[in-house]
Amino acid sequence: MLEEYESMEDGEKKVEGPVYNWRCVTEEFMTACSKLDLGELLHDSSFGLFEAMSAIEMMDVKMDAGMMCNQIKRKVLTLPQAIEVTWLEGHSLAQTVFTNLYLHDPSLIEDRTMRAFSVCMLKIVDLIRDRINRSGVYEEEDFQPLTYGFKMAGDVTDVKAVTAMKEVEDELSRAARHLKGLIQEGSSEETSECEGVPQAKKLINQMLELIKTIKETVSLGIHPEDREVTKNDYPTIMGFDPLINQRLLPPTFPRYTVIHDRGEALDYIHTLLERLLSSTAMLDATNIQEVMCSENLVSYHHVFLAGLFCSLHSCPQVGECLVSIPSQTSSRTPSEPLTALYNNAEVKQYVDALVTRAVRPVCTVLQVLGHNRARQRDKWAHLLDEMVSLQDEADKVDGYLHQIQMKMDPNRQYGSSFGTWVLYYTLQVMLAYTLSGFELELYAPYEYHYVYWYLYELLYSWLYSTIQRAETFVIDHEAFIESVSVKGRGSKKGKKKKRSKAVQRELIICQAQQNMFGGYYKKLKQPSFEYDREEVRYSHRLAPFACVSTPPMVPYSQYKTQTVIRVAKTNFVTLKLLSGGHKQDSEDPPEFDFSLHKLYPVIKV
């Protein structure tokens, strides 16, 4: 493919190949220009202001990627690892990893050590690329999957590469062993998503140890010369040429990539490994809630890679969770249809269809967490649409099940388990959407008032009641099962207790958050809108929620009437504080300080 590309370009060159006959007209041009009127544009009839607007402005720091001053800041180019890290951070493969000439065709390298090392690098890059592609949580700006037709050492198997690595291990420094670890980690994940994890965990720990040694020995070996970088010489060590792949890049591509130095790169790998380690812990989570919780924690670190590996780990599990719904009860999943009802062929068909339909949106919930923060917000809004239609279907299934239940056993009530289950996720998505606004610093201080109000009055209170409802269903249902089965297995009781404990915990967290937001809301004074319309802002902020039928969008008018009552209370508290002589001489309004936590600001009067 590479050859094809080259030959194509050669062909183009032949067609062009213009021979210019340049004549210097600088002086004439300057004088002619100065005769133009101020603001007058000299142009052809076919060229208008509109075309002129779309031109790239040269020498503009933002628009002109090839600017010379953009090049001077370049950092020192070093170990392949450093380059790999730069690639991991979202730069083009051709500009990073493949600036190492050795990697272009490792089979040509005669030195055994170097060859094994190069093959390993290629393998690792390929594994990572494959992983990222499969989890699908990147956008163009985050990660560039293009390989530009480079061979990723596909002819060499993982095992072979590892053995080759082992052979040179004694000769070479420990960097080799580290690399071997990486590739093994990758392949162990490859072979068995879940079973390979304990082994991977062990390997990660080993690598963390090795990083220390590598850090200590970084100062050894060849170093690039220290010199001022000018336009045509780059600090480089043997085997690297930063411009080697320039021709493969698309035209508007940023020309120069800053490559990390070794120290930074090792730090990066270190944190990456630690994050991977924490993400493996997630597999112990028994239900989706725990997964989401830990995933949230991990991806708060803003590095999308971590989130990405998380979603890789958890996706198969989610599928499992969902598939097991009809037969096994997980805390929020509907357990209703499992006995007599589920034996009804038609019911089975409906339920299975719904579950299959639900797999995608619910998996997406987890996948979205792998995206970077700004993307997440868009994705959440988008996901809501899907949740709405899922909710519709769940309600239909619920209605149908209710009918059947009435026919079979009029004494027993069928709760809307599926509807509740979907509602739970819808609320989670809405919450994620609203809260992400804080993290991305989208809300202006005068908006806090209604955002907090919405969180407190609507979202968290709905979430609370939803969890509670689901719990009641489960308890009712289990009581029923126990009353039916005369045998009454003792083992089941313990399981139930454990589960409701988890639910209890979630309920408490939910309530605490609701109260937190309620507190902030009440603490805030109603902002004054002299030249602005709050209603417009309100509707705009919450626009994605308008399509959701349950919970319904609370109109602005309702927020307004609610506030009138609140204002009295808020003022009462504030006035009481102030009348107590608190901050008497200060005229500043209370400030919100988000430096300690992203969601719960510290209020400063």
Partner 1 sequence: MLLQSWLNKSMKVEMTDGRTLIGMFLCTDRDRNVILGSCEEYLQPPGNEGKKEEPRILGLAMIPGHHIVSIHIDDDSKNVAEL
Site residues (vs partner 1, CB under 8 A): 18-26, 28-30, 32-34, 36-44, 47, 51-52, 54-59, 66-69, 231-232, 246-247, 251-252, 255
Cβ-contact 243, 274 below 8 angstroms: no
Cβ-contact 322, 358 below 8 angstroms: yes
* Nearer of residues 6 and 209 to partner 1, judged by Cβ: 6
Please tell me the distance from the alpha carbon of residue 353 to that of residue 357, in angstroms, as a whole number: 6
Q: How far is the CB of 227 from partner 1 (least distance, A)?
A: 18
What long-range pairs does 320-329 form, CB within 8 A, spacing at least 24? Answer: 321/287, 321/288, 322/355, 322/358, 322/359, 322/362, 323/355, 323/359, 325/355, 326/351, 326/352, 326/355, 329/474
Cβ-contact 137, 308 below 8 angstroms: yes
CB-CB neighbours of 571 under 10 Å: 13
Please tell me the distance from the alpha carbon of residue 490 to that of residue 482, in angstroms, as a whole number: 10
DSSP calls for 510-522: HHHHHHHHHHHHH
Q: How far is the CB of 15 from partner 1 (least distance, A)?
A: 14
* Nearer of residues 55 and 565 to partner 1, judged by Cβ: 55
Q: How far is the CB of 62 from partner 1 (least distance, A)?
A: 13
* Nearer of residues 41 and 194 to partner 1, judged by Cβ: 41
Please tell me the distance from the alpha carbon of residue 518 to that of residue 149, in angstroms, as a whole number: 56
Q: Which residues contact 209 (CB under 8 A, 6 or more apart)?
A: none
Q: How far is the CB of 101 from partner 1 (least distance, A)?
A: 18
* Nearer of residues 56 and 575 to partner 1, judged by Cβ: 56
Cβ-contact 549, 388 below 8 angstroms: yes
Cβ-contact 327, 338 below 8 angstroms: yes
- 326 class by beta-carbon count within 10 Å (0-12 exposed, 13-18 middle, 19+ buried): buried
Please tell me the distance from the alpha carbon of residue 355 to that of residue 41, in angstroms, as a whole number: 64
Q: How far is the CB of 5 from partner 1 (least distance, A)?
A: 13
* Nearer of residues 41 and 575 to partner 1, judged by Cβ: 41
* Nearer of residues 251 and 580 to partner 1, judged by Cβ: 251
* Nearer of residues 230 and 485 to partner 1, judged by Cβ: 230
Q: How far is the CB of 245 from partner 1 (least distance, A)?
A: 11
- Furthest C-alpha separation in the chain: 105
Q: How far is the CB of 96 from partner 1 (least distance, A)?
A: 19
Q: How far is the CB of 6 from partner 1 (least distance, A)?
A: 12
DSSP calls for 76-97: ----HHHHHHHHHTT--TTTTG
* Nearer of residues 66 and 589 to partner 1, judged by Cβ: 66
